[in-house]
């Protein structure tokens, strides 16, 4: 099928894009890489009368190291992130998550902001952002605001963004010190969305106790989730006393419900979820111990 007819707009910067979205109202949608939106248009699951293409909008692209954080513009492609030495050095969890997104052809066009705004609960980036305590920057006719990653996804494919509001970028804190990072997922085929996945960041103190950790889950709920009970149980304990299996079990025990679909029953998903959390925890702690 072909998309229904729409008017195409190519604003020159973020302010112009936001003004267009406000003027055109509910019938307008921003488009970035088109890797999620174009299939929805082709299947007529979305029927916007206006597409506001962010591809040429100034001020939304780039990777900047800013002291203890890294800012990444919303329209920065996933391939750029994958190849960035700065991201590999300062936000290794994001660098390691990126090759797991689809295939390189998708990452050539797909953007950070598109992935975050699309808010697929099985996507890697939202879970990484949650695990690392990232902050999202937005712009609307009412001004700019910052939203913690943990508060951004509000339900299945829905976010805190207003229809006339753009995601302009994300700020990832740099976890320095004795830190380790790992992402694990289970997919039916390489490049598929994950049936279940976990992104883990661990910081150890000089005595090898867990001083801080973040566990982001994907594919295990209607939004990306943070395994706060598992994090609390591990924090403050000697890393050798925290078994990966316990972390996985605790992370699954705190989930009230887990989705079931044609790929996995809820029970099987919990089983896989516990395994990916345990594996990611193990690898992250090993890396931190040798940092
Ligand atoms: C075959 C295939 C496999 C894939 N596998 C994976 C995978 O394993 N993991 C994964 O995470 N993703 C996967 N994807 C999705 C891919 O990562 C997309 O790139 C991503 O979900 C959307 O990014 P985009 O830039 O293409 O956004 P678009 O498709 O252009 O937009 C997606 C949505 O976000 C909105 N939007 C875009 N940018 C902004 C912004 N700056 N502010 C506000 N709203 C905005 C749009 O209006 C639209 O609603 C896959 C896609 C395909 C086709």
Mean pLDDT of the region 215-225: 97
Mean residue pLDDT across the chain: 97
pTM, two decimals, is 0.97
User: Which pLDDT score is estimated for 148?
Assistant: 98
User: Which pLDDT score is estimated for 243?
Assistant: 97
Mutation pick for ligand 1 pocket among 21, 31, 79 (CB with most ligand atoms within 8 Å): 31
- Interstrand relation of 7-9 and 50-53 (parallel, antiparallel or unpaired): parallel
CA distance 65 to 144: 21
Cα 32–chain centre separation: 16
Reported as a pLDDT band with limits 50, 70 and 90, residue 2 is confident
Mean pLDDT of the region 1-24: 95
Q: Which residue's CA lies nearest to atom 5 of ligand 1?
A: 102
Kindly state if the Cβ of 33 falls inside 6 Å of ligand 1. yes
Cα 49–chain centre separation: 28
Kindly state if the Cβ of 54 falls inside 6 Å of ligand 1. yes
Kindly state if the Cβ of 152 falls inside 6 Å of ligand 1. no
Each residue of 251-262: pLDDT tens digit? Answer: 999 999 999 999
Mean pLDDT of the region 138-150: 97
How many beta carbons lie within 10 A of that of residue 269, not counting itself? Answer: 23
Reported as a pLDDT band with limits 50, 70 and 90, residue 277 is very high
Structural tokens at position 172: 């990832």
User: Which pLDDT score is estimated for 253?
Assistant: 97
Kindly state if the Cβ of 97 falls inside 6 Å of ligand 1. no
* Ligand 1 nearest-atom number relative to CA 138: 42
**CA of 210 relative to ligand 1 center, distance in Å:** 35
Each residue of 62-95: pLDDT tens digit? Answer: 999 999 999 999 999 999 999 999 999 999 999 9
CATH fold for domain 63-173: 3.30.465
DSSP secondary structure letters along 165-208: -EEEEEEEE---SEEEEEEEEE-SSTTSPPSEEEEEEEEE-TTS
CA distance 181 to 128: 10
**Burial classification of residue 197, based on how many CB atoms lie within 10 Å of its CB (0-12 exposed, 13-18 middle, 19 or more buried):** buried
> What ranges do the domains of the chain cover?
7-52, 63-173, 178-289
Q: Report domain 7-52's class.
A: alpha beta
User: Which pLDDT score is estimated for 1?
Assistant: 74
CA distance 84 to 63: 8
Running DSSP on this structure, what letter comes out for residue 207? T
User: Which pLDDT score is estimated for 31?
Assistant: 98
Mutation pick for ligand 1 pocket among 8, 17, 27, 35 (CB with most ligand atoms within 8 Å): 35
Which of the following CATH numbers is that of domain 178-289: 3.40.50.300, 3.30.1490.20, 3.40.50.720, 3.30.390.50?
A: 3.30.390.50
Mean pLDDT of the region 203-228: 97
* Ligand 1 nearest-atom number relative to CA 165: 43
pLDDT at residue 157 tops 80: yes
Q: Which residue's CA lies nearest to atom 20 of ligand 1?
A: 115
Mean pLDDT of the region 221-247: 97
pLDDT above 90 coverage of the chain, percent: 98
User: Which pLDDT score is estimated for 18?
Assistant: 97
Each residue of 22-57: pLDDT tens digit? Answer: 999 999 999 999 999 999 999 999 999 999 999 999
Q: Give yes or no for a contact between 78 and 110, defined as CB atoms under 8 angstroms apart.
A: yes
* Residues near 16 by beta carbon (within 8 Å), at least 6 away in sequence: 57
């Amino acid at each position: 099928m072909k998309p229904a007819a729409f008017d195409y707009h190519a604003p020159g910067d973020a302010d112009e894009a936001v003004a267009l979205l406000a003027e055109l109202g509910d019938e307008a949608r921003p488009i970035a890489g088109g890797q999620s939106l174009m299939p929805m248009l082709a299947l007529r699951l979305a029927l916007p009368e206006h597409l506001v293409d962010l591809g040429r909008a100034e001020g939304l692209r780039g990777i900047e190291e800013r002291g203890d954080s890294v800012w990444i513009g919303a329209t920065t492609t996933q391939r750029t992130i994958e190849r960035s030495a700065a991201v590999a050095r300062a936000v290794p969890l994001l660098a390691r998550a990126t090759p797991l997104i689809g295939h390189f052809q998708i990452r050539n066009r797909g953007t950070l902001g598109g992935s975050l705004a699309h808010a697929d609960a099985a996507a890697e980036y939202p879970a990484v952002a949650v695990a690392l305590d990232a902050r999202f920057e937005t712009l609307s006719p009412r001004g700019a605001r910052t939203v913690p990653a943990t508060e951004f996804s509000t339900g299945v494919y829905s976010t805190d963004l207003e229809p006339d509001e753009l995601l302009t970028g994300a700020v990832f804190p740099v976890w320095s010190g004795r830190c380790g990072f790992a992402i694990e997922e289970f997919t039916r085929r390489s490049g598929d969305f994950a049936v279940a996945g976990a992104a883990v960041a661990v910081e150890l103190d000089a005595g090898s106790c867990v001083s801080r950790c973040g566990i982001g889950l994907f594919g295990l709920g209607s939004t990306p989730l943070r395994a706060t009970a598992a994090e609390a149980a591990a924090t403050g304990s000697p890393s050798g006393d925290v078994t990966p299996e316990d972390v996985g079990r605790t992370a699954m025990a705190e989930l009230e419900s887990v989705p079931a679909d044609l790929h996995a029953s809820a029970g099987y998903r919990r089983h896989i979820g516990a395994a990916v959390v345990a594996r990611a925890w193990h690898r992250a702690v090993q890396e931190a111990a040798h940092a």
